[in-house]
Amino acid sequence: MGEPSVSRTTEHLTRLAVEIAAEMELEVLSVKVSGGGGHRIVRLDVDRAGPVGVNLADCENLSVAIGGAIEDTALFGAPYSLEVSSPGIDRPIQTDDDARRNTGRRVVVETRLPLSGKTRFHGVLAGVSGSNWIVRGEDGTEWAVPSEMVIRACQDCRF
């Protein structure tokens, strides 16, 4: 009998990673398994909600824990590479869940129509209220930006 399909392996690995990451107060954003036969490549993007986010030590600790779980479950019958990383500051903020996770971080949010005479808001993402993303400018001004009006947003990015 051969190795399980990539999709079944990814599903199993995702459940395992989400459980282990939660114990470390991390969230799994994506799991990708590629390759086959002789060598699999496993890539996990993780984050921690709030201003601190995820750091190198978090990625290293999660990699060790997940690597151990992969070995314990014999998930792969062949060699594999495991890559655990943060989503990066240029990852788009697209959903209310992304906004929740980025609360407390510096962001740039661009809207399709002007709000308070502006289409670009620079500041700290202060939270999510209903379907609004609350952006606080350096002067303390807060804007409630409806998520459906956002065309681009990311952490302290330049566009």
Q: Which fold has domain 6-85?
A: Alpha-Beta Plaits (3.30.70)
Amino acid 4: pLDDT = 54
Mean of all residue pLDDT scores within the chain = 90
Q: Evaluate whether 6-85 and 96-155 have a shared fold.
A: no
User: Residues 65-75: pLDDT tens digits?
Assistant: 999 998 888 88
99 close to 128: Cβ distance less than 8 angstroms: yes
- What gap in Å lies between CA 112 and CA 149, rounded to an integer? 6
The string of pLDDT tens digits covering residues 8-24 is 778 989 999 999 999 99
The domain spans of the chain are: 6-85, 96-155
Thinking of the domain 96-155, which architecture would CATH place it in? Roll (2.30)
pLDDT bin (cut points 50, 70, 90) of residue 2 is very low
- 9 touches 3 (CB < 8 A): yes
Residues 11-21, buried b or exposed e (16+ Cβ, 10 A)? Answer: ebbbebbeebb
CA atoms within 13 A on the CB side of 76: 25
Put simply, whether the predicted model's pTM sits higher than 0.75 gets the answer yes
